[in-house]
Amino acid sequence: MQAQIQTTADGAIVFDTGVAAQGRFDPDWFDPAHWRAQGRSANVDGGRGGVIIIDAPFGHCVLRHYRRGGMVARLLGDRYLWTGAERTRSFAEFRLLADLHGRGLHVPAPVAARYRRDGVHYHADLITRRIEDATTLAGLLAQDRCSAEIAARVGAAIAEFHAAGAYHADLNAHNILLAADTVWLVDFDRGELRTPNRVWQLANLVRLRRSLCKLGAGGGDDAAFEHGWWTPLMAAYERRFGDLT
């Protein structure tokens, strides 16, 4: 993928040159109203909000508007402090996804990212390729469709990211997707490449464990969770991590 930066009246766009004719990315493509007016969008559960699926000229994609969570959201909403273009949430995630995708890791391919300046703040958006026919791990848990085999596949997939130094800032069951036999990680906002280290890697896994327990993996029974979920997940993680390091 080759990325190109396009300046706009209030900011800039970085995009994959393979998706935009004549070397220009239409800023309207970041506007949900543009797609709704054409009947080419669908809302999805996006956590803090701002996520839709779009049927774009370059294929099915996910459009996400960055929005803060927690108490600070009441004060700043979708505004972030400006500290430079490459340090915006959208540009940083676009660059990271491009890097991880180029390494063959299963992340959604980035299409375009935008920031718009607003004084000392900025607003941000990101478009990525949609992972077709995928279900979140959280969704599978809710449907009681999980198994030790799926847990092992998830553990092995996380090991591949960790061996590559890919840190996911919010590793939870909602950000793990399964499509056929492939496990994908999505939403790398605030993610980064780090020197592989067991401290942050285990902290990542502890965060995932909390998410699984909160969603009732193992039917809420601690022994069932350990035997049917966490043990096979960690065993597969350690095997795959050992193969790669």
User: Quick one: CA dihedral 224, 203, 100, 48, positive or negative?
Assistant: positive
Task: List the alpha helices (DSSP H) in the chain.
Answer: 32-37, 72-76, 89-102, 137-142, 148-163, 198-214, 222-225, 231-244
Among residues 26, 31, 55, 170, the one annotated as catalytic is 170
Question: Residue type for 136, please?
Answer: T
170 is catalytic: yes
Query: Are 114 and 125 in contact, with CB atoms under 8 Å apart?
Result: yes
In a 10 Å sphere around its CB, with 0-12 CB exposed, 13-18 middle and 19+ buried, how is residue 233 labelled?
buried
Alpha-carbon gap, residue 141 to 147, rounded angstroms = 9
Alpha-carbon gap, residue 125 to 120, rounded angstroms = 17
Query: Are 151 and 230 in contact, with CB atoms under 8 Å apart?
Result: yes
- Can you say how many angstroms the Cα of residue 203 is from the centroid of all Cα atoms in its chain? 18
| Best CA proximity match to 208, nearest among 185, 189, 227 | 185
Query: Active-site residue numbers?
Result: 170
